Structure 1
């Protein structure tokens, strides 16, 4: 009888506040996929104490039947978190540590000094720079030089990693993916609008994602105000939560948009909202490769977005979407106006977008490549300990 195949345990490690963001979809669904393929795997989330919104992630993990370990984390120097993680990796033995943010990667790099592990990181993006965050990003890139493999979700992130001194030989480009069967176009957008209590005849534009500074939702609202001034009536759905909620409320009041914007909050299942949208808008200042853009495109929603991060590799302007300059509310308003007034063009863009992601950004395709990377890592000789960096 052949001996069973040995596989190390994968730890998917992530620091999060509230309901998280796009990486949560990749982590949770990816864990389910790898678990079904026989990999021993656990998700480890570090989150602030008394963060009640984190329960949304716990509920999603239970729905998907994936193992989740949560540690309360009280800041950069919480040695209790380090001790708990050390006890966990020592108990598990051979581990592939898969970090998904700067703190998870820094902790992995530190712990492998005392407990040899294979280190893998997925770089999802670095957001908008601020002085303290810039320092964290600097430390993150230093740590990544000592990793075994660094997965980047866009070519621009891979280039940024290489510029930061991370060896090109360990940097792998692997874009995010979407399940195009799960995210399928609705049979009727008008019916989808009615189910949300919206007039079927009113064009609906929308955003799904974290409400944070780098998403530049102020530009979306200013563009919406321009549309209203020009006599183009639309209704906007903003789906998500995050730290700029109060700022958005103030902007909505400033432009008297209360009757034209619905702040939905976090939605565990965003598909009913995509289904009602005539245009999806993502006016980001920085991105990796946004899951929400893939989801909207899979549901054949025409998209208006900015050419930042990995988006230019995903969107062919005028063919699979519309690209506008970051921060340009005038261009945003004009792009949306063209799509809501020329439905045949909007439908064509949406259909092209869906076909593009089906062909190039399927979730199974992504996970099969990630599994190849994992197999390559654990098949190397005896989990070597790297020299210091």
Structure 2
């Protein structure tokens, strides 16, 4: 495989405006792909890459809040999604949007979008970037596992597959991706204190009696490891710590987690916040943020916590060990170990100084490596390379 090197956009030859058609299924209320799209929309060079956001939604299905906000910020279209059987019709409508934008690049962000791109690129020459935000593999079940298996097949047809970590890059290569490159996720690091008033109000609402808060932000799903922290909580409290767990998000495992907390006798100390509209004040309200994923790439949750100077405890999954040096920018624990997570939480709980030190060091790490500007330079550089490779015949059919 030829290694592609992203060019700094300031030194790229300008080939004229090239539309970037971003496609995403409108089914998750909030998650990593939606956050990545937010970053792209806010920081994309629109003069060079005029954007269109195409969302695939079921009949009468309201758009999730994050995507609903995005359609007010960027030219958008909503295409019907009637399941796998109706995909050819949706692909035809997407093809018509491409016809209106000669020379466009397709940028897809999930299995539904990948399926439409695969169908279109079988019959016409359209540069296709498949952005894979993560596969959960063994932590998935049922139809979700089937969809991931389908996606593994589809991405083989993409001209370029972008991922957020080296671990994910290797997985995509093993699945048959022809050209795989890394675009590191980027998070803006504003002054953490700007969220302090909202954070204080959140703490007063969910923990009026005080005490420490250990939070996890993300979809309530077995692969995210929330159960490990719930299992550790009784032992932490038995050891004399006044600490509660806050789960920020929603998902299929919520009933399971509520039952687990009740069974362990800590139901009153596990707060289910549901979907939070603005994540940064909630993260700032935590004394520590846990990312105990059983399988992951480089989750945005960790970067968002670092952006507001909150100490992160993360599993050694995916590229988390590359973003966080254990003991310097946060704490790392073994994947799937409730005991290891407990020990790390206790260590931070008993040392306010260490929490402050790791929180600030993590924020400095973020600003040095994981900025939106760096992310967009990489993405735009790869788009520019595809333009060059496509050559002058920008409307050619296969």
Fold similarity call, TM over 0.5: yes
Question: Which of residues 135, 147, 158 is equivalent to 1:147?
Answer: 158
| Aligned residue number for residue 170 of structure 2 | 159
Contact 1:193-1:200 within 8 A present in 2 as well: no
| Aligned residue number for residue 91 of structure 2 | 82
Contact 2:91-2:117 within 8 A present in 1 as well: no
- 5+ residue gaps, structure 2: 1-13
What per-residue deviation string (whole Å, max 9, x for no partner) do you get for residues 264-298 of structure 1?
11112112211111110111111121111101011
| Aligned residue number for residue 42 of structure 1 | 52
Question: Which of residues 318, 343, 346 is equivalent to 1:309?
Answer: 318
| Aligned residue number for residue 101 of structure 1 | 110
Where in structure 1 do 4 or more consecutive aligned residues deviate above 4 Å?
A: 35-38, 131-135, 182-190, 192-195, 383-387
Counterpart CA distance in 2 for 1:342 and 1:245 is 31
Per the TM alignment, residue 327 of structure 1 is displaced from its structure 2 partner at its CA by 2.1
SS in 2 for 1:92: coil
Contact 2:195-2:280 within 8 A present in 1 as well: no
Q: Which moved more, 1:304-313 or 1:223-232?
A: 223-232
Q: Which moved more, 1:176-185 or 1:324-333?
A: 176-185
| C-alpha distance 342-263 of structure 1, shift in aligned 2 (>3 A) | same
SS in 2 for 1:351: helix
Q: Which moved more, 1:170-179 or 1:200-209?
A: 200-209
Aligned pairs (5 A) from 1:128-139: 128-129=137-138, 130=141, 132-139=143-150
What per-residue deviation string (whole Å, max 9, x for no partner) do you get for residues 34-66 of structure 1?
2544521111222344444x3413432156x12
| Aligned residue number for residue 334 of structure 1 | 343
Counterpart CA distance in 2 for 1:373 and 1:299 is 30
Aligned pairs (5 A) from 1:259-270: 259-270=268-279
Verify: 1:172 aligned to 2:181, yes or no: yes
What per-residue deviation string (whole Å, max 9, x for no partner) do you get for residues 115-168 of structure 1?
32101111211113346545543443333233222112100111112222323x
What per-residue deviation string (whole Å, max 9, x for no partner) do you get for residues 283-321 of structure 1?
111112111110101111111111111212111111111
Question: Which of residues 211, 230, 234 is equivalent to 1:225?
Answer: 234
Per the TM alignment, residue 331 of structure 1 is displaced from its structure 2 partner at its CA by 1.5
| Aligned residue number for residue 33 of structure 1 | 43
Counterpart CA distance in 2 for 1:68 and 1:356 is 35
| Aligned residue number for residue 12 of structure 1 | 22
| C-alpha distance 374-195 of structure 1, shift in aligned 2 (>3 A) | farther
Contact 1:185-1:300 within 8 A present in 2 as well: no
| Aligned residue number for residue 67 of structure 1 | 75
TM-score under structure 1 length normalisation:
0.89
Question: Which of residues 351, 361, 370 is equivalent to 2:370?
Answer: 361
SS in 1 for 2:83: coil
What per-residue deviation string (whole Å, max 9, x for no partner) do you get for residues 218-247 of structure 1?
112111222123222212221111222222
SS in 2 for 1:284: coil
Counterpart CA distance in 2 for 1:384 and 1:67 is 22
Counterpart CA distance in 1 for 2:114 and 2:337 is 35
| Aligned residue number for residue 4 of structure 2 | none
| C-alpha distance 186-15 of structure 1, shift in aligned 2 (>3 A) | closer
Verify: 1:114 aligned to 2:123, yes or no: yes
SS in 2 for 1:264: strand
Per the TM alignment, residue 352 of structure 1 is displaced from its structure 2 partner at its CA by 1.1
TM-score under structure 2 length normalisation:
0.87
- 5+ residue gaps, structure 1: none
| Aligned residue number for residue 240 of structure 1 | 249
Contact 1:13-1:45 within 8 A present in 2 as well: yes
